[in-house]
Every structure is written in structure tokens, then in C-alpha cells.
Amino acid sequence: MNNTIKSMTSEELKEKLKQLKDNLCDLEDMHAFTFGKTTVHIGAEKAQNMQTEFEEECKEFNEQIAEIEIELKARGVN
């Protein structure tokens, strides 16, 4: 994604950053709702797999967000 970031304008980066943050928030909300309501019904192994997948997706979003924030700081954009 780093090469893609370098080729984007500051405005495109800001929009992408907003989109990633919104997606992360949606993922967290969906996980909290789904995980809280279904853990009893799906069993421990499935619940653990869901939690692991959720953590991996959050990590990917957070890494992309950090990359964009670093690029925006390097450009002097707030």
C-alpha cells in the first residue's frame, strides 16, 4: 500500500484515512454486537476463531491508518 499512498494527493489521503477509520469503527461495532450475542451459541473454538480474525482485521486497518498518518505528517498536512 505504501506505493499507492505516495501517489495519492493529500486530499485523497485524508478521504482514505476517514474511510479506514469509519471501516474500523464499523468492524468494532459489528464484532461487539455479534460476538456479545452469539458466543454462548457458537462454542469456544468458533468464538476464538472469530476473535482472532477480528484482531487481524483491526491490525490491518490500524497499520493502514498509521501509514497514511505518517505520510500526511511528512507532507505537513493536519
- How many CA atoms does the CB half-sphere of 78 hold within 13 Å? 0
Predicted pLDDT at 48: 85
Contact 16, 71 (CB under 8 A): no
Q: What is the mean pLDDT of the chain?
A: 90
Cα–Cα distance, 71 to 76 (Å, whole number): 9
With a cut of 70, list the residues of the chain below it in pLDDT.
1-2, 39-40
Predicted pLDDT at 10: 95
